[in-house]
Structure 1
Amino acid sequence: MCIKKYFLTALCSVIAYGASAQSDITEKEIAAHISFLASKKMAGRFPGTRENKKTVGYLIKNFRKAGIKPFGISYTQEFSAKIRVKKGVTDTPVVKTQNVIGFIEGNDPVLKHEYIVLGAHYDHLGMGGPSSKKPDTVGIHLGADDNASGTAALLEIAEKLQANSKDLKRSILFIAFGAEEQGLLGSRYFVENPVVPLSSIKLMMNMDMVGRMNSEKHLYMGGAATFDGGMELMKGLGPQIGINPLVIAYDVGGSDHVSFFKKNISVLGFHTGGHPQYHTPEDDFAHINVPGEKLVCDYIYKAIVSVANREGAISFIPEKK
């Protein structure tokens, strides 16, 4: 290839995938992501809607801006979602929606064939419905904490990892799951139709409701004992960041990481706790603790780098009952 042609090819690559990944996670960008995703114009990000498509477009745009490539030729993995209805309703709609997948390839010639998955669901309840805590209320369920917060964290952590990608030995998949609120449908579809062999996924880390850190700076996580050294690692990172992690051995909870755990994949499920606004129209940006979410992002970033660069094997450890 001549030098001129090589230069043009490289330039096209930069334009296509961006070259502006920031080397740090910022409160400003966390707030901007949540404000957009949980705005009234996004109408609760319900699967199959125009607002769902806008959310997918927003995710892809930010992956590209950060220089994060798709896995393969497309960022999207399409699937059909059966929508939950009230008890007694027999007409159950099925809609098309998507998972959004970004990818950073590791640098170790052997370990790059192993993957860490960082995930968060981007959908919410739209105007309410049977999963609302106010099921008879028709109003936009904004979903700022659930789960615009996790989606914002996914974008920010991914951007910093891309900026420092030369330091990663294992590869990273970033997955924004669709239709979680309809029964973990996006993650269930992914583990039945994985883009890489499931055996090559060594850890799945999931963020669902990470925007309401309390004054004690608690961060809850389930599944730390599902991989060797997990309990010690997650406890040890707390003082470095300035938070108090509540590290739970198993009790993996009820979000998208459960789909991976059922396939014997090690998991960590992160959240900052429940609150009265959960699954109501009142789950809005005004309740978000942005500085607290930055601490969450910094903590998870360090955890990913540590696991991605571990020399030894990462082994799944089932719960002993």
Structure 2
Amino acid sequence: MKSIYILLAIGLFISCKKEKPVEVTMKDDVVLLASDSLHGRQTGTSYEILAADYIANRFKNLGLEPKGVKGYFQEFSFKDKSDPHGNVNYVSKSEDSTTTGTNVIAYLNNNAENTVVIGAHYDHLGMGIEGSLYRGDTPQIHNGADDNASGVAAMLHLAKQLKTINTNNNYLFIAFSGEEMGLLGSNYFVKNPTIDLKKVDYMLNMDMVGRLNDEKAIAVHGVGTSPIFKQVLFSNKGDFKIAEHESGVGPSDHTSFYLMDIPVLHFFTGQHEDYHKPSDDADKLNYEGMEEITQFILSIITELNDDGKIAFRKTKNESQEVPAFKVTLGVVPDYLFSGKGMRIDGVSEDKPAQKAGMQKGDIVVKMGDYGVEDMMSYMKSLGKFEKGSTTKVSVKRGDEILVLDVTF
């Protein structure tokens, strides 16, 4: 059965035998990877293998060397989705009740001293595994166009452009499996690398880069993981409005590399109402925005091309600074907002925020006696309240400050 899928991937999606290479756009890559025929690319399924074959074939057509264990592929098997940076239970594929994921890895060898890693996960939620926010009665395909066919398409686009420029580094391109189950593919790779990790200059990660908004706001995580990053980012940002985050730890594959003392940058255009739902489809992406983002990332690579191996710097783990809290407002924060306060990007039904009259776009500036300056202070303020308690929450709506009564 697997061979049939491989033949379909080669025959229907892109042919290696054409005399002229097929010109494949980022939209082409997204449309294919987010098609119903791939059933949501769940880790360990034949559909993920089909997606892996497609990506490997794209790497081959771009003239990139295989850098997996078996050609372009690096398989890993596991029984449990334990803490990916603690005790991941990787096992032999021959053991019973295992799942096998497949990283897809390619190499652009410029015979340089150091290597830049560029990555994006390609797995998604299949028909709606754990992590899905879909609440329908019938299972549906979660195509994951933004999450993360967009990142894979951007990675492939960068690979094409880097073939002839910025040759002071080599480039390792990795499409990670198992991200949705806990960063499993990237964690496995850094513990079983196919190149010398001591020669890795830095790692760039793209996860959900398909929904650039009209403000051109983009979140960049890991800004503090090298002393040079902030200067490079802001000197190349152009029209982008950057929401910068210092920490190298976050819910995507760059974390695995940061924990190996490698500088990282992670690019993200924000959550949206289709996140982890069947409605995350290819027709909703901003492909012009994706082109702008890849050019922004390319300009960063270009500026760093002559800098040699850049310095690594540890950052605070922002997630560890947040106290445990027993209550929630029932809102989706706007992770791209860089102003004062916490801007609301969505309001859940029948939750404290909705009952109090909060709306999308409101900016929370105070909770009880606690001022809210940013996302971190918002979460710390939330940790001060108990279930059943009542407080006043101040929100900015337009030019007006509203004081609302909230019961948790």
TM-score, length basis structure 1? 0.83
* TM-superposition CA deviations, 1:112-154 (whole Å, max 9, x none): 1311100000000000022111266511001000000001111
Provide structure 1 residue ranges, at least 5 long, that are not aligned to the other structure. Answer: 1-14, 23-27, 86-91
**Alpha-carbon distance between aligned partners in 2 of 1:67 and 1:21, rounded to the nearest angstrom:** 13
Name the amino acid aligned to 1:227. Answer: S
Name the amino acid aligned to 1:216. Answer: E
Q: Check if 1:305 corresponds to 2:306.
A: no
Q: Answer whether contact 1:180 1:186 (CA < 8 A) is retained.
A: yes
The 1:131–1:169 alpha-carbon spacing in structure 2 relative to 1, beyond 3 Å, is same
Name the amino acid aligned to 1:192. Answer: K
Q: Answer whether contact 1:221 1:248 (CA < 8 A) is retained.
A: yes
Q: Check if 1:133 corresponds to 2:137.
A: no
**Alpha-carbon distance between aligned partners in 1 of 2:73 and 2:302, rounded to the nearest angstrom:** 25
Which of these residues, 72, 75, 81, is aligned with residue 72 of structure 2? 75
Q: Secondary structure at the match of 1:98?
A: strand
Provide structure 2 residue ranges, at least 5 long, that are not aligned to the other structure. Answer: 1-15, 83-95, 318-408
Q: Secondary structure at the match of 2:210?
A: coil
The 1:265–1:251 alpha-carbon spacing in structure 2 relative to 1, beyond 3 Å, is closer
Following superposition of structure 1 onto structure 2, how do residues 285-304 of structure 1 map, counting pairs within 5 Å? 285-304=282-301
**Alpha-carbon distance between aligned partners in 1 of 2:286 and 2:200, rounded to the nearest angstrom:** 32
Q: RCO (CA 8 Å, sep 6+): is it higher in 1 or 2?
A: 1
Q: Which residue of 2 aligns with 1:201?
A: 200
The 1:300–1:33 alpha-carbon spacing in structure 2 relative to 1, beyond 3 Å, is same
Q: Which residue of 1 aligns with 2:56?
A: 60
> Offset at 1:50?
1.6
* TM-superposition CA deviations, 1:260-289 (whole Å, max 9, x none): 111111110110001111111111112111
Q: Secondary structure at the match of 1:181?
A: coil
Q: Secondary structure at the match of 2:25?
A: helix
Which of these residues, 312, 328, 341, is aligned with residue 316 of structure 1? 312
Q: Answer whether contact 1:47 1:96 (CA < 8 A) is retained.
A: yes
Point out the structure with the larger helix share.
1
**Alpha-carbon distance between aligned partners in 2 of 1:318 and 1:83, rounded to the nearest angstrom:** 29
Number of aligned residue pairs: give it.
286
**Alpha-carbon distance between aligned partners in 2 of 1:265 and 1:143, rounded to the nearest angstrom:** 28
Q: Check if 1:33 corresponds to 2:29.
A: yes
* TM-superposition CA deviations, 1:132-184 (whole Å, max 9, x none): 1126651100100000000111111111111x14x411111000001111110
Q: Answer whether contact 1:221 1:269 (CA < 8 A) is retained.
A: yes
Q: Which residue of 2 aligns with 1:188?
A: 187
Q: Secondary structure at the match of 2:180?
A: helix
Structure 1 segments (4+ residues) deviating >6 Å: none
* TM-superposition CA deviations, 1:44-69 (whole Å, max 9, x none): 00112221111111111111111111
**Alpha-carbon distance between aligned partners in 1 of 2:308 and 2:60, rounded to the nearest angstrom:** 32
Q: Secondary structure at the match of 2:26?
A: helix
Which structure has the larger Rg?
2
The 1:312–1:103 alpha-carbon spacing in structure 2 relative to 1, beyond 3 Å, is closer
TM-score, length basis structure 2? 0.66
Which of these residues, 101, 105, 109, is aligned with residue 101 of structure 1? 105
The 1:20–1:228 alpha-carbon spacing in structure 2 relative to 1, beyond 3 Å, is farther
Identity across the alignment (%): 38
Point out the structure with the larger strand share.
2
Name the amino acid aligned to 2:202. Answer: L
Q: Which residue of 1 aligns with 2:122?
A: 122
User: Please, which moves more after superposition, 250-259 or 112-121?
Assistant: 250-259
> Offset at 1:214?
0.7
Q: Which residue of 1 aligns with 2:334?
A: none
